[in-house]
Amino acid sequence: MRMQAELPRHVAIIMDGNGRWATERELSRIEGHKNGALAVKKVIEAALEMKIPYITLYAFSSENWSRPKAEVDGLMHLLNQFLKQEQKTFLENQIRLRTIGRLDELPDENCKLIQDTIQKTKQFYRMHVTVALNYSSKNELVDAVKGMLRDAQLGKLNTTSLEYSDIASYLYTKELPDPDLIIRTSGEFRLSNFLLLQSAYAEIYVTPTYWPDFDQTDFQKAIDHYSSRDRRYGNVRPTI
Ligand code: IPE
Ligand code: IPE
Ligand code: MG
């Protein structure tokens, strides 16, 4: 008998293809990002309906600072707009917002709006939405090691009996389960410095759909695909 996986508890999404979506329509890349923000709303709604408790969205990587200033500024502006408009949705639906990444390097207005929503939603647990902003898995590891060295010096960390779980407790994701499913849109088969450790046993689903076109039906398809996978974790499939 085939072991069927359940619904994923944690879905992490690499929202890619906004630029190509816009270019194909002879629009500016920012128009692509605007339509990408609409797709974010759709996916949060779909996840709520499906009762998927953890969603993590890769919105801005540490490498994305290297893009033209106008695009970076446009993205930060859109993020502010999104936060202003969507705080209501988070409060009404009891969604807790978190971020992962070096938040303090974002513009002040972004930081303030994000901190405000984080504070106002921290008592919620119906659904957890985490936005990866100025995120890099490699930097996350650097920050974790710095934190560990600091605590070791203070005598707060026993370095002789270190386990992976000790290291995980210094990662930005310390309060989150590992992702079960990673979705990447726009047909690229790479992780682009996203949750490299945490996705050690995640199932990966790549769709050619550009992020602005990704909707509830595409999300459902990704979940169905996940549910048909065999997660063996290095073990073998039972023969009966
Ligand atoms: C994803 O879309 C959004 C961000 C990385 C901020 P892209 O902007 O990377 O779109 P493509 O990959 O150029 O099409
Ligand atoms: C990954 O997309 C980052 C986000 C989706 C925010 P990129 O478009 O930056 O990744 P690469 O450059 O194709 O690897
Ligand atoms: Mg891209």
Query: What DSSP string runs through 173-209?
Result: TTTSPPPSEEEE-TT----TTSSTTTTTT-EEEE-SS
User: Residues in the chain, how many?
Assistant: 240
Q: Does residue 129 fall inside a structural domain?
A: yes
Q: Does residue 144 fall inside a structural domain?
A: no
Contact 135, 61 (CB under 8 A): yes
Q: Which ligand is nearest to the CA of 36?
A: 1
pLDDT of residue 240: 63
Domains identified in the chain, total number: 1
pLDDT of residue 110: 98
Q: What residues in the chain have per-residue pLDDT under 70?
A: 1-5, 240
Q: Does residue 63 fall inside a structural domain?
A: yes
Q: Is the CB of 135 under 6 A from ligand 2?
A: no
235 an active-site residue? no
Tokens of 199: 């996705």
Q: Does residue 156 fall inside a structural domain?
A: no
Quote the longest CA-to-CA distance of the chain. Answer: 59
Q: Is the CB of 58 under 6 A from ligand 2?
A: yes
Tokens of 58: 């890769």
Q: Does residue 150 fall inside a structural domain?
A: no
Q: Does residue 120 fall inside a structural domain?
A: yes
CA–CA separation, 37 and 32 (whole Å): 9
Q: How far apart are the first and last CA of the chain?
A: 6
92: domain range? 10-136+177-227
- Supply the CATH number for residue 111's domain: 3.40.1180.10
CA–CA separation, 177 and 47 (whole Å): 16
Q: Which ligand is nearest to the CA of 211?
A: 1
Q: Is the pTM of this model over 0.85?
A: yes
CA–CA separation, 94 and 125 (whole Å): 7
pLDDT (tens digit per residue) in 115-172: 999 999 999 999 999 999 999 999 999 999 999 999 999 999 999 999 999 999 999 9
Annotated catalytic residue within 35, 64, 104, 180: 64
pLDDT of residue 230: 87
